[in-house]
Amino acid sequence: MRAMMKVLAVLSCLALLMTAVPAAADDSFNLERDGFSTSYTYNYDYWGDAQASPDAYRVSKVIDSVSLGLDNLGGTRIRKAQSLFVKGQELYVADTGNNRIIQIRMKGDDFRVERVISEAAGTIEDYTHAENYYNKTKEYEAKIAQTLNAEKALAALQDPSRDQLASDEEIAKATTDLEEARAAEETAHDEAMTAEENAKAAGCRIWQYEAWKKNDEGAVSTFFNAPNDIAVDEAGNIYVADTNNNRVLKMDKDLNVIWEFTKPLDATFDQSISFLPNKLVVDVASRVYVLCVNVNKGLAKFEEDGTFSGFIGANAVSINMAEYIWKRYFQTKEQRAASESFVPTEYENICIDKDGFIYATNTIFSEYDLKSDSAKPIRRLNSLGNDILIKNDRYPPIGDQWWIQESTQNGPSRFTDITVLDNDIYVAVDRTRGRLFGYDSQGVLLWAFGTKGNVDGAFTGAVSVEHVGYSLLVLDQLKNNITVFTPTEYGSMIFDAINSYLQGQYDQSAELWDAVLRMNANYPLAFRGIGRAVLRQNDFQGAMKYFEMAHDRENYGRAFKLYRKEWVEKNIWWIILIVALLLIVPLVIGRMKRMKWEVVMHEHSKVRK
| Any domain includes 527 | yes
Q: How far apart are CA 143 and CA 184, in angstroms?
A: 7
pLDDT at 3: 47
Of 64-68, 152-156, 275-279, 418-422, least confident by mean pLDDT is: 152-156
> Would the pLDDT of 368 be above 90?
no
The pLDDT tens digits for 314-325 are: 876 555 556 556
Same domain, 587 and 508: no
In this structure, the answer to whether residues 508 and 473 fall within a common structural domain is no
Tens-place pLDDT, residues 148-161: 999 988 888 888 77
pLDDT band at 243 (very low <50, low <70, confident <90, very high): very high
Residue 236 falls inside a structural domain: no
Over residues 568-573, the mean pLDDT reads 81
Is the model's pLDDT at 276 over the cut of 70?
A: yes
Give the pLDDT of residue 489: 94
Angle at the Cα of 136 from the Cα atoms of 130 and 137, rounded to 5 degrees: 90
**Residues 577 and 562 both lie in one domain:** no
CB within 8 Å of 374: residues ≥ 6 apart: 365, 366
- The contacts of residue 482 (CB under 8 Å, 6+ apart) are 62, 63, 64, 84, 93, 473, 474, 475, 476
Co-location of 371 and 501 in the same domain = no
Residue 479 and residue 508 in one domain: no
One domain, residues 431 and 503 = no
Residue 32, amino acid: E
How is the beta sheet containing 378-381 ordered, strand by strand?
349-352, 358-361, 378-381
Q: Which of 147, 172, 204 is the last residue of a domain?
A: 204
Asked, for residue 94, whether it belongs to a domain, the answer is no
Q: How many CA atoms lie within 13 A of 544 on its CB side?
A: 11
Q: Are residues 59 and 134 in the same domain?
A: no
Whole-number pLDDT of residue 402 = 86
- Inside any domain, residue 336: no
At 80-127, the pLDDT tens digits run 999 999 999 999 999 999 999 999 999 888 999 999 998 886 554 555
Note whether residue 237 is domain-resident.
no
pLDDT at 321: 59
Same-domain check for residues 465 and 389: yes
pLDDT at 114: 92
Contact by Cβ (8 Å): 509, 529: yes
59, 190: one domain:
no
Do 395 and 472 belong to one domain? Answer: yes
Higher pLDDT, 212 or 441: 441
More confident position, 13 or 245: 245
Q: Specify whether 452 is located in the same domain as 522.
A: no
Per-residue pLDDT band at 198 (split at 50, 70, 90): confident
Domain region containing 184 = 127-204
Share the mean pLDDT of the chain. Answer: 81
**pLDDT bucket at 8, cuts 50 / 70 / 90:** very low
pLDDT at 1: 44
* Whole-prediction pTM: 0.72
Most confident listed range (433-437, 519-523, 576-580): 433-437
- Among 487, 505, 536, identify where a domain stops: 487
Running DSSP on this structure, what letter comes out for residue 220?
A: B
Lowest mean pLDDT: which of 116-120, 327-331, 434-438?
A: 327-331
Q: Is residue 590 part of a domain?
A: yes
Nearest CA-CA partner of 468 in 60, 64, 100, 70: 60
- Which of 172-186, 365-379, 417-431, 444-458 has maximum average pLDDT? 417-431
Are residue 548 and residue 596 in the same domain, yes or no? no
Tell whether the model's pLDDT for residue 40 goes beyond 80: no
Question: Among 204, 231, 265, where does a domain finish?
Answer: 204
How confident is the model over 228-254, as a mean pLDDT? 93
Backbone region of residue 88 per phi and psi (left: phi > 0; alpha: psi in -120 to 50; beta: other values): left
CATH number for the domain that contains residue 507: 1.25.40.10
Beta strands across the sheet bearing 247-251: 227-232, 238-242, 247-251, 257-261
Structural domain total, the chain: 4
Q: In this structure, is residue 32 part of a structural domain?
A: yes
Residue type, 276: L
| Most confident segment among 83-87, 292-296, 334-338 | 83-87
Per-residue exposure over 29-44, b if at least 16 CB sit within 10 Å of its own CB, e if not: bbbeeeebebbbbbbb
In a domain, 176, yes or no: yes
The answer to which of 54-63, 69-78, 244-253 has the lowest mean pLDDT is: 69-78
Task: Yes or no: say if 399 and 428 are a contact pair by the CB < 8 Å rule.
Answer: yes
How many residues make up the chain in this entry?
A: 609
Sign of CA dihedral 591, 593, 595, 598: negative
